Amino acid sequence: MRILLQRVSEAQVAIDGDVHGAIQQGFLLLVGAEDSDTSEQVDYLVHKISKLRVFEDEAGKMNLSISDVGGSVLSVSQFTLYANTKKGNRPSFVAAGDPKHANQMYEEFNQKLSATGLTVETGVFGADMQVSLINDGPVTIWFDTDQP
């Protein structure tokens, strides 16, 4: 799995002009899956993200987790995280997971992240979505279970 995490002061996802999910302070997660992804990889990512200390403490150091600051998560599926741009000018997405498996991994990830006590808002798997955000910092972190 691949996840692009952005620390945000706010974020939302809209579908056909209607807001489907919105958060204030927290993480916007762009989530992609491939066919070889497993529940163990989901567990690894849930642990890493729920414990990640990237919010500032009273001394201005990134030392607090999302739970410490009462933050929320907006999780958006994004198969384009598996784009291959090595040949030509049109990306290939053959490494992206079969939609059925990728959706299963995305749903499992969101459920397990929610089970940690975090509020998790989501987009809709496979939908044409418009994502807006204010990246706080900016802080943007890449997770790839093929390179833990």
For residues 74 and 147, what is the distance between their CA atoms, to the nearest angstrom? Answer: 24
Rounded CA separation 101/144 (Å): 17
Distance separating alpha carbons of residues 8 and 24, to the nearest angstrom: 7
Write down the pLDDT at residue 48: 98
Residue-level pLDDT at 69? 98
Report pLDDT for 120. 98
pLDDT value at residue 44? 97
Q: What is the pLDDT of residue 100?
A: 96
**pLDDT for res 26:** 98
Q: Could you tell me which residues are beta bridge partners of residue 3?
A: 31, 143
pLDDT for position 94: 87
Between CA 90 and CA 78 the distance in angstroms is: 17
pLDDT at 90: 92
- pLDDT given at position 147: 85
pLDDT tens series, the chain, 148 aa: 999 999 999 999 999 999 999 999 999 999 999 999 999 999 999 999 999 999 999 999 999 999 999 999 999 999 999 999 999 999 999 889 899 999 999 999 999 999 999 999 999 999 999 999 999 999 999 999 988 6
Hey, which residues are catalytic here? 78-80
Q: What is the CATH number of the domain that holds 15?
A: 3.50.80.10
pLDDT of residue 101: 96
Domain that holds residue 87: 2-144
Overall number of domains in the chain: 1
